[in-house]
Structure 1
Amino acid sequence: MTLAAARERQRLKRARLAIAVVFCAHGAVTGSFATRIPWIQDHTAISAGQLGLALAFPALGASLTMPLAGRIMHRFGARSALSGLLSLWTLALILPSLASNMLTLCGALFLMGNAAGMSDVAMNALGVETENKWGRSIMSSLHGMWSTGALIGSAGGTLAAHLDVSAPLHHTIAALLLTAVGLAACKRVLDIHSAPEEDPPPRFALPPKSALVYGLIGFCAVFAEGASLDWSAVYLRDEYDSSAGLAAASTTAFALTMAVARLAGDRIVDRFGPVRTVRGGGVFATLGGLLVVAAPHPLLALVGFGLIGLGIAVVVPLAFAAAGRSGPNPSQAIAGVATITYTSGLIAPSAIGAVADATSLVFSFTLVTALALGLVLGAGVLKSARENPPGELAPPAEGAEGTRQRAHSQHGP
């Protein structure tokens, strides 16, 4: 290896670590917020139904502003855009704890969702770029770092709640710390600058067809994720009359297997490819769903939820990676996939509840099982995303896109 190649590899190592820290910081905000929802509910004096409505506003805010991320990255460059958008997200953590009623809480969560969605698109676009330069799959582990960050944020929030620290103080300290960490990490990520003559992406546009296809795969996985996270404990309690501890363990089993699978998923993807990985994951998730709906004992249902988490873990990272390599505008394609998956996460908990009211929770998770089977049947759409696998980028095209790729090589860190 030449000296120049060794330096380039070292630069990419720093960039990979930096984008992993960004994902971790992004997840830590979510974990920090989630643990203080009971405090926020008490101090806004809202009912459970009102809280459920308010919690739909982050996904709504994210879905509406995700398409703007590509334009911001075009205008300021990917690194600067990520620095600003991630800072907006980490500082937005303070807003919900300052709300005094239902109206101000919905507004705070809507603004929080705006920042979450745009920063999500920016960091995934840079994650795909880093994966392409690195030459091996890293998107699964990056999303695993997001899950790790969420666990860290949850642990901090649990400690703060145990010590009876108010949510405004806890969230202010966490926001400032995560902003500092995020800004430091953003200095090391890769950069992308559009050529001066390249037209900016539209403020709002329908996602490309490729994003719709990959988004449907992500939809199946995120629906199963939202349903399992929000309803697994209720399922064990209502269907098996389980203890509170065992019911809560089902949620833990799901989240833990999902985080571990994401952290280990890159090696599996590199060995088997995205199609076989998603297809195999779909088999695990389908078996897990069948255990949930048919198990005669709660421990088997708990294992089922763990298998669902294991099976769907790498689907969304691979959908983002596929979208980022599917056309000349990665950020627009990623925004399309993200919008579809956020929408899935938004409707899944309420859809499960509505179906359960009309029929039963068992039938609701039969629907989840059917969507898991959809991963097995639809995994083949990811094959086209490997026409230019990581490390084997297509040669620069003539015109704006080719200029953009050449510009990128001149503006890296």
Structure 2
Amino acid sequence: MTSRPSGGTTPRPPWQTPEYRAIAVVFVLHGAVAGTLATRIPWIQDRLGLSPAVLGFALLCPSIGAFTAMPTASRLAHRIGERRATRLLIALWCGAIALPALAPAPVFLFAAMLLFGATAGMSDVVMNAHAVSVERHLRRSVMSGLHGLWCVGSLVAGGIGILAAHARVDARLHLGLVAAVLLAAGAAAGRGLLHVRPAPEAPAPRRFALPTKAVLGIGLVGFCATFAEGASADWTAVYLTEVGDAGPGLAAASYTIFMSCMAGTRLAGDRLVRRLGPDRVVRCGGVVAVLGGVLVVASRAPWPAIAGFALLGVGVATVVPLVFAAAGDLGATPGEGVAGVATITYLSGLTAPAVTGWTAGALSYPAAFGLITCVVAVMTVTAGALRPRGGGTSAPASEPAEGALR
């Protein structure tokens, strides 16, 4: 059995434990893969001569692949174990980054992007489920910080990708080298992941884990947060250009500011959760996000709009990590709970950019972000769904809620 802090001693900070460091590296790697590919899409489009419509379908394929494959992830984790499933799927995800650049024709690109999305979604589910197990083991909130590290990995890898693109490095070479480095780092980190044995009385996850009724309320909170996050990330630069009359450089910088605010808030989020509890953190964040949305809608100049997007990022930053943690505690297994709520959040992320664009086209950009502000208000009102139910990580517990850790 893994040693646990005794009642009379102060637990070590999470970063001093090998199991936390291992899962932290996994989150960084997952973010790095996402951030790297995003920078080389123009190279792939130019090499294959893709029209905007064909490229749009190619960029939709990862979401389709993830949405289809994610509900099966908890079953795989149950069959081979969380630790092995996390190691396997993060390796597949890191390796899959090289495939889109190797595609010789659009049809092969579609297949590569579908596979890329499937490995992304399944690895997302199992690593978040494993993070729930680590939270139970450490008996303290760590999920927000892990998602903050995901943002850091994405931003750093994206910066490297921008430099590679600027230097006109062939994307096949760039993505191949990144895949090799990340695979090696993932293999090293995987050895430190926690061993988790399901409790003998725990039922096997369903083959296709759709959300249960217990998860739906939590999923609604996650849906609203992901909707605001996805719409803001995809449309902030366009909004600054069309409404704020910002130049290309400032418009592009607005995305980096938004993501940096999210990353910083997530890295600090676990301390807030330990003091206030997840429901209060989400409710306070919702108020901040609503204020940010109002500022965006009212702004007709670049800097007030950027400030509004920054507040939106701060307000929704901790929600998805806390939604995953709460769902992992409610499911029959952590993986099944996470898979159920992840299906909802991915659906939100898939629809948010399109709904925002349709609303902006039919009405206006401020009207579209008025809708997003209303969605965030719903998130604020429903935050009580994240209130700990006895075994949650924000409440004291003498033992992990499920399984034996060794």
TM-score, L = length of structure 1: 0.92
CA contact (8 A) 2:139 2:397 kept: no
Distance 2:358 2:104 in 1: 30
Report the residue type matching 1:37 in the other structure. I
Query: Alignment identity in percent?
Result: 49
- 1:192-214 CA-to-partner distances (Å, cap 9, x unmatched) read 23367865322114321122211
The equivalent residue for 1:290 is 294
CA contact (8 A) 1:87 1:179 kept: yes
Distance 2:238 2:147 in 1: 27
CA contact (8 A) 1:134 1:390 kept: no
The equivalent residue for 1:271 is 275
- 1:373-396 CA-to-partner distances (Å, cap 9, x unmatched) read 112111111114455435744879
* Alignment pair present for 1:317 and 2:321: yes
* Alignment pair present for 1:207 and 2:211: yes
Distance 1:386 1:245 in 2: 49
Correspondent of 1:350 among 354, 363, 375: 354
- 1:189-238 CA-to-partner distances (Å, cap 9, x unmatched) read 11223367865322114321122211111111111111111111111111
Distance 1:64 1:197 in 2: 29
The equivalent residue for 1:140 is 144
The equivalent residue for 1:49 is 53
- State which drifts further: 299-308 or 41-50: 41-50
- 1:111-149 CA-to-partner distances (Å, cap 9, x unmatched) read 011111111111001111111111211100000010011
The equivalent residue for 1:308 is 312
* Alignment pair present for 1:88 and 2:85: no
Segments of structure 1 that go 5 or more residues without pairing to the other structure are 397-401
Assess, with a 3 A threshold, how the Cα gap between structure 1 residues 326 and 173 changes in structure 2: closer, same or farther.
same
Report the residue type matching 2:82 in the other structure. A
Assess, with a 3 A threshold, how the Cα gap between structure 1 residues 4 and 40 changes in structure 2: closer, same or farther.
closer
CA contact (8 A) 1:131 1:390 kept: no
Question: How far 1:347 sits from its partner (Å)?
Answer: 1.0
The equivalent residue for 1:176 is 180
Aligned-residue Cα RMSD (Å) equals 2.2
Task: Find the residue that maps to 1:136 and give its secondary structure.
Answer: coil
Provide the aligned length of Structure 1 versus Structure 2.
400
The equivalent residue for 2:127 is 123
Distance 1:238 1:247 in 2: 10
Correspondent of 1:218 among 216, 222, 243: 222
Distance 1:221 1:10 in 2: 29
Segments of structure 2 that go 5 or more residues without pairing to the other structure are none
CA contact (8 A) 2:274 2:394 kept: no
Distance 1:206 1:340 in 2: 9
Correspondent of 1:67 among 66, 71, 82: 71
Assess, with a 3 A threshold, how the Cα gap between structure 1 residues 191 and 281 changes in structure 2: closer, same or farther.
same
- 1:23-77 CA-to-partner distances (Å, cap 9, x unmatched) read 0001000011001010011112111222122111111111111122111111111
Report the residue type matching 2:163 in the other structure. L
Question: How far 1:323 sits from its partner (Å)?
Answer: 0.5
The equivalent residue for 2:383 is 379
Assess, with a 3 A threshold, how the Cα gap between structure 1 residues 13 and 47 changes in structure 2: closer, same or farther.
same
Correspondent of 1:106 among 81, 105, 110: 110
Report the residue type matching 2:113 in the other structure. L
